[in-house]
Amino acid sequence: MNMESQKYFIQSGSIGSGKVFIDPLTELTFGIRHINFERLASGSVTFPNAVLQDLNNIGPGQKWSFNFNGKDYELILLELNYLDDSYKVQLSEK
């Protein structure tokens, strides 16, 4: 199979708040510090070749787009679990 035709895709398992997701390809980092009972979270994201951005009142389904090595990517917050104090993300090439 031709690897050039495959789009990059990675989906995390459950990550505890206070821990960071690091993408091995783009080196994007995404972390959630706190999840409240309304399923809103605060955290931070660092896109490739960019400075850290604080995130507040983010919820599941929120998307962020960025470019890396001439390709467009999209980061999606898939899940915030208040009871388990965990989250899941997905990163894919558009």
Where do the structural domains in the chain lie, given as residue ranges? 12-93
Q: Give the β-pairing of 9-11 and 15-16.
A: unpaired
Q: Give the β-pairing of 86-93 and 71-81.
A: antiparallel
What was the pLDDT predicted at 5? 73
**Quick one: pLDDT band at residue 4, thresholds 50, 70, 90?**
low
Q: What is the pTM of this model?
A: 0.92
The label of the residue with tokens 């050039």 reads 4
How far apart, in whole angstroms, are the C-alpha atoms of residue 43 and residue 18? Answer: 9
When pLDDT is averaged across residues 65-94 and rounded to a whole number, the result is 97
What was the pLDDT predicted at 1? 46
**Quick one: pLDDT band at residue 86, thresholds 50, 70, 90?**
very high
Cβ within 8 Å of residue 62, ≥6 positions away? 76, 77
| 33 pLDDT more than 70 | yes
